């Protein structure tokens, strides 16, 4: 007998167009968060197809898919229930599984099914399991109820992202289908089209002759005002922060001149003083070819904005040190190359590698090593560095981008001070472990063509410093190494351990 529910599930998976889609930052941030919060080495958003499981997002794993017949996630999907395997080698279902007996050597698995409605337009439509959000480790372990509940919340977040992706795709499809009839639609039909694009919104209309403003009940509710209260255009604009108000006024004026619709997100304070993030869309209403009003829709997107900001921050921040991550570092360097060329100034990139860090990790354990990395990160944010951009590239490698022109006038002196400040001692078991830093510096100026050129120059300087003497610095293009010591940089008291 044909399994109709499985046929429906596979058909839904195909309609969602998730399989083999490009990586998306929001999904990647969820698995990174799951990996961090559970302490597992691997976290995945897995989608179970007819013959394979494919990973929409992954952390700690290099492969993109595995056969379905050996997939742990296939069991969770088949049961449509949470699956926890404390030790796969002791579980008859998985003991001989090649993912257990070979790479990635799965011992522990916990997976929560992720679902989507078969028909997004029908609230009663069954929700079918597409795959799982799962965490995996190569050591046996248990998962406490709080962590499992947290994993369930993250799985719900993945479902929300899938739903939002589906809604956006549906909105594009609907816009394309209705686009050729837009000019012939009445005002209410145009407002309905906008409402279909962003859902659960209020509407508004501004007549151009007398600036009379009309709001729907939901628009009043978003403003936290009594329905039907009179509102002038000036009073309506006063709800926005000054910068947002200027952008909105400029956008409306542009629409009046060009006839192009507008779509703006802005910061907003309600009549009761509550912060909101809102989205406003508008377009001209024409009568006999002449503009008579602006009509539009209005939505409170505060929660969505908070989620996006949280995911963006997670993607741009190193989990351990709480300074910028490698991805964020690449963006900042690229931006600096553009602004440096435009302003005719220069800045300096410091590539920092810790000396003897491995000895601390090997002898005292990863906790001690993590403490060292956190201290180094804090010292790279010392006040005397004047807001220089600090990032961790990974392992014991850091970057410091210096833009303050006063600091750059004595880069050698700054490097002497920094070498001294990055020395760190730990005493344990009657032994003293000393960590220092070796630094390669390179100038970023109008002649710097690309990030790769800048990093290559700094890396070459770092290599030269290591070859001469660890705990020193070399500036690219200069042969004389720099040793630690005091400089003319204004001293700042920095707490030191050890």
Residues 85-141 have pLDDT tens digits of 999 999 999 999 999 999 999 999 999 999 999 887 787 889 999 999 999 999 999
What confidence tier does 152 reach under pLDDT thresholds 50, 70, 90? very high
**Has residue 489 got a pLDDT over 80?**
no
Whether 4-172 and 317-475 share one fold: the answer is: no
Contact 198, 263 (CB under 8 A): no
**Has residue 343 got a pLDDT over 80?**
no
pLDDT of residue 48: 96
> For the domain 4-172, what is the CATH superfamily, name and number?
GAF domain (3.30.450.40)
Second-level CATH architecture of 317-475: 2-Layer Sandwich (3.30)
Contact 322, 328 (CB under 8 A): no
Strand partners, 397: 353, 394
Where b means 16+ CB within 10 Å and e means fewer, 368-396 reads ebebbbebbbebbebebbeebbbbbbeeb
Q: Report the predicted TM-score, pTM, of the whole model to 2 decimal places.
A: 0.44
pLDDT of residue 490: 38
Residue 349 to residues 49, 338, 462, Cα–Cα distance (Å): 46, 15, 11
CA-CA-CA-CA torsion sign (444, 446, 450, 452): negative
User: Can you tell me the mean pLDDT for 309-313?
Assistant: 69
pLDDT of residue 313: 66
Domain-by-domain residue ranges, the chain? 4-172, 181-305, 317-475
> For the domain 181-305, what is the CATH superfamily, name and number?
PAS domain (3.30.450.20)
Distance CA 10, CA 77 (A): 12
pLDDT of residue 113: 97
Percent over 70 (pLDDT), the chain: 89
Strand partners, 491: none
pLDDT of residue 179: 58
Contact 324, 332 (CB under 8 A): yes
What confidence tier does 197 reach under pLDDT thresholds 50, 70, 90? very low
Between helix 302-316 and helix 25-38 the angle, nearest 10°, is 70
Q: Which residues contact 278 (CB under 8 A, 6 or more apart)?
A: 222, 265, 266, 268, 298, 299, 300, 301, 302
């Amino acid at each position: 007998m044909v399994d109709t529910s499985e046929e429906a599930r596979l058909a839904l998976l195909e309609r969602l167009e998730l399989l083999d889609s490009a990586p998306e930052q929001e999904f990647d941030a969820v698995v990174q968060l799951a990996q961090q919060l559970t302490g597992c080495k691997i976290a995945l958003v897995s989608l179970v197809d007819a013959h394979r499981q494919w990973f929409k997002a992954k952390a700690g794993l290099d492969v993109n898919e595995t056969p379905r017949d050996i997939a742990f996630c296939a069991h969770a999907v088949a049961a449509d229930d949470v699956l926890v395997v404390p030790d796969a080698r002791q579980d008859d279902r998985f003991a001989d599984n090649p993912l257990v007996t070979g790479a990635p050597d799965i011992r522990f698995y916990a997976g929560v099914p992720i679902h989507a409605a078969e028909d997004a337009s029908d609230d009663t439509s069954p929700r079918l399991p597409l795959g799982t959000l799962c965490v995996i480790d190569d050591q046996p372990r248990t998962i406490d109820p709080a962590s499992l509940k947290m994993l369930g919340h993250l799985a719900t977040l993945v479902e929300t992202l899938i739903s939002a992706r589906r809604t956006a795709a549906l909105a594009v499809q609907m816009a394309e289908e209705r686009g050729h009839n837009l000019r012939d639609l009445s005002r209410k039909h145009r407002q309905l089209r906008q409402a279909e694009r962003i859902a659960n919104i209020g509407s508004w209309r501004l007549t151009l002759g007398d600036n009379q403003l009309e709001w729907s009940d939901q628009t009043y509710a978003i403003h936290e005002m009594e329905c039907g209260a009179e509102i002038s255009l000036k009073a309506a604009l006063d709800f926005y922060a000054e910068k947002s108000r200027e952008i909105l006024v400029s956008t409306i004026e542009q629409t009046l001149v060009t006839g192009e619709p507008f779509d703006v997100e802005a910061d907003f304070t309600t009549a009761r003083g509550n912060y909101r993030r809102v989205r406003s869309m508008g377009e001209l209403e024409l009568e006999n070819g002449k503009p008579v009003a602006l009509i539009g829709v209005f939505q409170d997107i505060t929660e969505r904005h908070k989620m996006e900001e949280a995911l963006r921050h997670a993607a741009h921040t190193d989990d351990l040190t709480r300074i910028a991550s490698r991805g964020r570092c690449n963006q900042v360097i690229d931006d600096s190359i553009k602004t440096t060329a435009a302003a005719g100034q220069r800045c300096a990139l410091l590539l920092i590698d810790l000396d003897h860090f491995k000895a601390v990790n090997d002898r005292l354990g990863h906790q001690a090593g993590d403490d060292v990395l956190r201290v180094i990160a804090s010292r790279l944010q010392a006040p005397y560095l004047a807001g220089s951009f600090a990032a961790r590239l990974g392992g014991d490698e850091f970057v410091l981008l210096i833009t303050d022109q006063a600091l750059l006038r004595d880069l050698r002196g700054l490097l002497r001070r920094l070498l001294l400040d990055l020395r760190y001692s730990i005493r344990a078991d009657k032994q003293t472990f000393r960590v220092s830093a070796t630094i390669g510096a390179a100038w970023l100026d109008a002649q710097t063509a690309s990030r790769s050129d800048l990093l290559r120059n700094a890396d070459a300087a770092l290599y030269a410093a290591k070859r001469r003497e660890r705990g020193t610095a070399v500036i690219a293009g200069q042969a004389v190494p720099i040793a630690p010591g005091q400089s003319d940089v204004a001293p700042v008291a920095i707490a030191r351990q050890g």
